[in-house]
C-alpha cells in the first residue's frame, strides 16, 4: 500500500459511526486555515459571515434533502437526543399534559421516563413482553382522547426494529429519528416535531437536528429558562447561544456528500441493498444465524443477529475485527451481534460482512 | 512565504476565538485516521477505549491545571454556559429557593433571567447605573439570610470587568467563568459550582466544563428529566449520553499544550503581560484612547476601549484588519473596540496591536 493511501476499516459501530471519507478528508484539509482566512472556522466568531453561511447552507441542504415544508423550522441544538427527551417534555407536556407513547425498546424507554417527570404518559403500544422484537401495525394505533401528541422512535438501534410507515392519528407525531433520519423520505404532514442526534446519518456527536412545526412551536410555554425554550432557538436561528460550529460544519459537508450520491432516494435504495446483503446471509445459514426481529419491521440501519452460542459470538466478533470489520458486538444490554449500516457505510462493507458470515458459518456450523 | 507555512492572522475575537496553532495542526493530522485505527476518533463508539481514554485524560489534565480538589467533580456537558444558566437554576433553585446574584453585565443578566424563572433572586450588587464598568469590593459583599448560593460572573466579555478576588460569604459561590477560566489559580474552597463554556480558554464551542462540589450535588433534586440532572452526568462520567467527542478531544489537546507552556501559573503571567501591553498603549495616548473600566477591575482577557469618535473606531477596526489583526470590533450592544486576549493569543499579537495603536494615535490624534 502506498504511503499516501488512507488506512481504512469497515466500521459497523451503532453511533458514533462511520462518516464519509471525503467529508473527513475535506475537514482535515480545511481545519487549520479556512478558505484562506488565516484562521480555523472553529476560531471564528459565530456571528461572522463564514460561520453564518455554514449554518444557512446546512439548514438549506437539510430542507432540500428531506423536502421539509415551510411549515417546519429546522434547528441545530447542542446536546443530542437525550437532551431532546427532556426538552420535548418540558415544552410540550408542561402543566401536566398527556401524551401517548409507543414503547418500542431502549430508546423509547428513555423518552418515556423523561415525559413522566413532566406530564402524563399513556402507552398505546408496549413491546416489553415481546422483548422489543416487533412494532404495531401503524393502521391499528389509536390515540387517547387527551393526548396532545403521539411519540414514537422510528428506529431502535439496540433492538433493530424500525417503523416502515407511520400512524395517522389526527394529532402530531413527535419522533426520535436519531438512527434513521436521512435514510428515506418522510411524510411531514404527520409530524409535529422530529429530533435526531447527529451521530448516525448526519454528522459527529454533540448536536441534535430538530424539525418543528409552527403550530407545535406555538404550544410551547414562554416562561422556560432560555436554552430550554424552542422559541428562543427558532428566533436565534440556531444561534441563541454560541453553537457547536464544528458539528454544523460537518453536517453541511455530510449533506453535500449525500446530495452528490443522489440524496435521500439514493440513501433509501442503498440502505435496502446493504441490509438485504446481511439479512440474506442470515437466511442462507438459518441453522447458524438467527435474527430475532419480526420480519415486518426489521431495521435497514441496525441488523441484529445471534449465533448458536456466546462463545461463537465472541469468536465471530474477534475474527471479524481481525479481518478489518469493527463494531459488530451487540449492545451490552442484549448481547449478540449487530451490524450498523448507516448512510456512510459503503455497499462493499455490507458485502464483505456477508461473505465473512458465509465463511464463518461454513467453518463453524 | 514558503508554500508550507500556515497563513495565520492575529485573531482578537471574543469567542469562539484563537486556538493554539499546534493544537489545530495535531487535530488536522489525526482527523482521518486516529492512531492507526483505520478510523477517525469522531467515528468511534464513545464506549471504546480510545474515546474513554481521551475523556479520562481531559479530566485529569483539567484537575491538574487548576488543582481541583477531590471534593469537586469535573464534567463536560454539551451546550455551553447558556445551557448552564438553565441547568444551575433547575438544580439549585427548585421549589422556589433564593439565591444572591451580582449583576455585573450582559452575561450576569442572562444568568439572572433564567434563575428568576425557577426561584427567587436577590441582587447584592447592581452595576446598571455605572453602565457595568465596575465591580464591588469582594470584602463588602454580604449575602441574604435565605440565599442558598452567591452567583457571580468572573469576567464580563462585553463590559471588560473582572473579579480580581472572590467574596467569602459563608455559602457556596456559583460562578460563570466562561471567559477567564484557566487564566489564574482558583480558591476552590469558596466555590460550589463553576461552569464555563469552552470557546475561550478551553477549546471549541459546543460544550461547557462544570466543576461541582459534592455537597452542592447532594442538594440537586432527583426527579428532573435525565439530561437536566447533574447527578446523571456525574454517574455517567460525562457520558450520560453520547457526548461531544470532538470538543473533549480538543480540550485534551489544549490542556496538554497549556501544560507544556507552564500551566495556569504561566497563563496568569502571560495574561498580565498581554493585557498590560494594550492597557499601556491606551495610557500612552490618553487623549485619544479611553478605557471606561474602573482600574481595580480591568479584565486581563477582554480589553475594551473607545476612540474619539465612531468614525475613527470604524477606521481603526478596518485598518487593523488590513494589517492582519481581526476581531477588534466591540460587542454590537456597546460599540467601540475590544481586544480579546485569551491564553492562545501570543504575546506578539498583543504587542503588534499595541504598536498599531501607537501608530494610529500618532496619525489621527
Sign for the CA dihedral angle at A7, A12, A13, A17 comes to positive
Which one is catalytic: A163, A176, A180, A329?
A176
pLDDT recorded at residue A365: 87
Q: Which CATH number fits domain B262-364: 3.10.20.30, 3.90.1150.10, 3.40.50.2300, 3.50.50.60?
A: 3.90.1150.10
Of A13, A224, A241, the CB nearest to B44: A13
Confirm if B19 and B204 have CB atoms less than 8 A apart. yes
SS3 B40: coil
Helix (H) or strand (E) holding B114: helix B106-118
Across residues A24-53, what is the average pLDDT? 97
CA nearest to A78 within chain B: B79
Closest CA to A254 of A202, A184, A180, A179: A202
Q: How many CB pairs under 8 A join A and B?
A: 227
Give me B298's grid cell: 480591568
Domain borders along chain A are 26-260, 262-364
- The answer to whether A334 contacts chain B (CB < 8 Å) is no
Cβ neighbors of A129 (< 8 A, separation 6 or more) are none
Yes or no: say if B186 and B195 are a contact pair by the CB < 8 Å rule: no
Portion 26-65 of A in contact with B at CB < 8 A: 27-28, 31-33, 36-40, 42-46, 48
Q: Which residues of A touch B329 (CB under 8 A)?
A: none
The mean per-residue pLDDT over the stretch A263-272 comes to: 98
Q: For the domain bounded by B26-260, which CATH number is listed? A: 3.40.640.10
**What gap in Å lies between CA B152 and CA A360, rounded to an integer?**
62
Q: In what order do the strands lie in the sheet with B191-197?
A: B72-78, B207-213, B191-197, B173-176, B147-153, B98-103, B120-126
Per-residue pLDDT of B41-86, as tens digits, reads: 999 999 999 999 999 999 999 999 999 999 999 999 999 999 999 9
Arithmetic mean of pLDDT, A107-122: 98
Q: What is the mean pLDDT of residues A258-268?
A: 98
DSSP A110-179: HHHHHHHTTSEEEEEEE-TTTTT-----GGG----TTEEEEEEESEETTTTEE-SS----SS-EEEE-TT
- The pTM for the full model equals 0.97
Q: Map B171-184 to HEC letters.
A: CCEEEECCCCCCCC
Give the mutation candidate from A8, A151, A204 for the B interface (greatest B CB count, under 10 A).
A204
What's residue B215's pLDDT? 95
Average pLDDT of chain A, as a whole number: 97
CA distance B140 to chain A (A): 30
Mean pLDDT for the stretch of residues A161-174: 97
pLDDT tens per residue across span B76-116: 999 999 999 999 999 999 999 999 999 999 999 999 999 99
- pLDDT of A2: 42
Kindly report, residue by residue over A286-342, the tens digit of the pLDDT: 999 999 999 999 999 999 999 999 999 999 999 999 999 999 999 999 999 999 999
Q: Is the pLDDT of residue A204 over 80?
A: yes
Cell of B332: 454590537
Among B245, B193, B300, which residue's Cα sits nearest to residue B27?
Answer: B245
- b/e map B345-364, b = 16+ CB within 10 Å: bbeebbbbbbebbeebbeee
Low-confidence ranges of chain B (pLDDT < 50): 1-3
By Cβ distance, the residue of B8, B18, B43 closest to A16 is: B43
Task: Tell me if ipTM is over 0.95.
Answer: yes
Predicted pLDDT of residue B4: 59
What's the confidence (pLDDT) of residue B71? Answer: 98
φ/ψ of residue A350, rounded to 5:
-65, -40
Q: Is B176 a catalytic residue?
A: yes
Q: Of B76, B23, B30, which is closest to residue B248 (Cα–Cα)?
A: B76
Euclidean distance between CA atoms A325 and B180, whole angstroms:
45
Question: Residue A4 has what pLDDT?
Answer: 59
pLDDT for position B116: 98
Q: Which of B100, B114, B163, B200 is catalytic?
A: B200
Distance, CA of B68 to chain centre: 17
Per-residue pLDDT at B348: 98
Name the nearest CA neighbour of A115 among B89, B90, B224.
B224
Q: Is the pLDDT of residue A281 over 90?
A: yes
Average pLDDT over residues A174-182: 98
Q: Nearest-CA distance from A134 to chain B in Å? A: 25
Instruction: Determine whether the interchain pair B246/A242 forms a contact, defined as Cβ–Cβ distance below 8 Å.
Output: no
From chain B, the residues in CB contact with A246 under 8 A are 204-206, 246-247
Amino acid at each position: 500500500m502506498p504511503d499516501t493511501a488512507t488506512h481504512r476499516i469497515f466500521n459497523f459501530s451503532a453511533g458514533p459511526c462511520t462518516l464519509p471519507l471525503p467529508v473527513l478528508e475535506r475537514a482535515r484539509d480545511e481545519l487549520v486555515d479556512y478558505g484562506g482566512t488565516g484562521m480555523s472556522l472553529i476560531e471564528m466568531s459565530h456571528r461572522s459571515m463564514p460561520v453564518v453561511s455554514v449554518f444557512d447552507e446546512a439548514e438549506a441542504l437539510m430542507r432540500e434533502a428531506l423536502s421539509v415544508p415551510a411549515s417546519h423550522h429546522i434547528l441545530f441544538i447542542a446536546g443530542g437526543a437525550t437532551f431532546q427527551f427532556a426538552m420535548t417534555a418540558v415544552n410540550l407536556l408542561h402543566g401536566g399534559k398527556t401524551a401517548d407513547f409507543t414503547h418500542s425498546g431502549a430508546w423509547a424507554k428513555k423518552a418515556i421516563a423523561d415525559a413522566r417527570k413532566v406530564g402524563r404518559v399513556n402507552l398505546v403500544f408496549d413491546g416489553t413482553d415481546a422483548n422489543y422484537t416487533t412494532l404495531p401495525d401503524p393502521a391499528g394505533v389509536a390515540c387517547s382522547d387527551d393526548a396532545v401528541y403521539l411519540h414514537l422512535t422510528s428506529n431502535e438501534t439496540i433492538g433493530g426494529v424500525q417503523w416502515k410507515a407511520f400512524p395517522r392519528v389526527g394529532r402530531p407525531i413527535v419522533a426520535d429519528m436519531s438512527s434513521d433520519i436521512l435514510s428515506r423520505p418522510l411524510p411531514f404532514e404527520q409530524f409535529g416535531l422530529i429530533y435526531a442526534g447527529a451521530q448516525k446519518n448526519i454528522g459527529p456527536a454533540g448536536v441534535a437536528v430538530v424539525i418543528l412545526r409552527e403550530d407545535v412551536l406555538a404550544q410551547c410555554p414562554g416562561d422556560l429558562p432560555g436554552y430550554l425554550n424552542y422559541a428562543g432557538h427558532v428566533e436565534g436561528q440556531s444561534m441563541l447561544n454560541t453553537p457547536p460550529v464544528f458539528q454544523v460544519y460537518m453536517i453541511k459537508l455530510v449533506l453535500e456528500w449525500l446530495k452528490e450520491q443522489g440524496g435521500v432516494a439514493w440513501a433509501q435504495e442503498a440502505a435496502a441493498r446493504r441490509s438485504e446483503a446481511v439479512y440474506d446471509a442470515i437466511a442462507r445459514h438459518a441453522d447458524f444465524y438467527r435474527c430475532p426481529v419480526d420480519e415486518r419491521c426489521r431495521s435497514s440501519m441496525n441488523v441484529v443477529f445471534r449465533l448458536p452460542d456466546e462463545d461463537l459470538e465472541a469468536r465471530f466478533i474477534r475474527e471479524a475485527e481481525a479481518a478489518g470489520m469493527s463494531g459488530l458486538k451487540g449492545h451490552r444490554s442484549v448481547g449478540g451481534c449487530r451490524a450498523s449500516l448507516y448512510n456512510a457505510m459503503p455497499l462493499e462493507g455490507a458485502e464483505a460482512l456477508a461473505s465473512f458470515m458465509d465463511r464463518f458459518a461454513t467453518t463453524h456450523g
